[in-house]
């Protein structure tokens, strides 16, 4: 599939997440569905990372979105979603470890349904990370329509600062 572009409608896909629990001791119970259809009528920033706890994702990408959350909200963003092809338990643990609280929804695309449907999938078997991984990206979705997308290796077009400049 071709990569999703500005002007495209976000595909209907179901992701998994663990609802935020203020007690860091509580592990995720039963992951809940997060359907992309729930973004209808909202402005949502979705950023994808190749792997939880990986160096660039952990040290640069996720922290910047957490730090700039209020700025994003002030620009009209309703939700910020971090997406990876990990499972919901890993995403929950990463969110707790990074202390993102309820600001960033840590969404799991465990089967790669979202990244495949949007053309944002990459094969990282050569790095020992598996055949279905997310590319590093950020997109702004306004009422299900993609109004910005940045895909890259680093964080110059997919980081929170780049997204803020596009809002």
pLDDT score for 146:
96
> Per-domain residue ranges for the chain?
40-166
CB 84 within 8 A of CB 109: yes
Q: Give backbone dihedrals phi and psi of 73, rounded to 5 degrees, phi first.
A: -60, -40
How many Å apart are CA 8 and CA 107, to the nearest integer?
A: 21
Please give the pLDDT value at position 121.
79
Give the fold, CATH level 3, of 40-166. Answer: Glutaredoxin (3.40.30)
What does the DSSP assignment read for 72-131? HHHTT--EEEEEESS-HHHHHHHHHHHT-TTTEEEEE-TT-HHHHHHT-EE--GGGTS-S
d(CA 128, CA 146): 32
pTM equals 0.86
Per-residue pLDDT of the chain (167 residues; tens, 9 = 90+): 689 999 999 999 999 999 887 666 677 778 999 999 999 999 999 999 887 766 565 556 688 888 999 999 999 999 999 999 989 998 898 888 888 888 999 999 989 999 889 988 766 566 655 557 778 899 999 999 999 998 876 556 667 778 888 88
CB 132 within 8 A of CB 85: yes
Report the alpha-carbon angle 41-2-59, nearest 5: 70
Active-site residues: which are they? 57
């Amino acid at each position: 599939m071709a990569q999703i572009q500005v002007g495209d409608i976000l595909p209907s896909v179901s992701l998994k997440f663990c609802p935020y629990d203020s007690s860091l001791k509580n592990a995720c119970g039963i992951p809940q569905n997060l359907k992309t259809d729930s973004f209808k009528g909202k402005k949502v920033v979705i950023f994808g990372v190749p792997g939880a706890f990986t160096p660039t994702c952990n040290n640069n990408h996720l922290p910047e979105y957490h730090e700039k959350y209020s700025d994003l909200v002030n620009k009209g963003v309703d939700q910020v979603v971090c997406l990876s092809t990990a499972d919901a338990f890993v995403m929950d643990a990463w969110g707790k470890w990074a202390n993102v609280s309820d600001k960033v929804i840590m969404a799991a695309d465990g089967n790669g349904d979202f990244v495949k449907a949007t053309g944002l999938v990459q094969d990282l078997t050569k790095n020992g990370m598996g055949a279905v991984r997310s590319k590093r990206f950020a997109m702004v979705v306004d009422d299900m329509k993609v109004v910005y997308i940045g895909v890259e290796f680093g964080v110059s077009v997919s980081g929170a600062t780049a997204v803020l400049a596009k809002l």
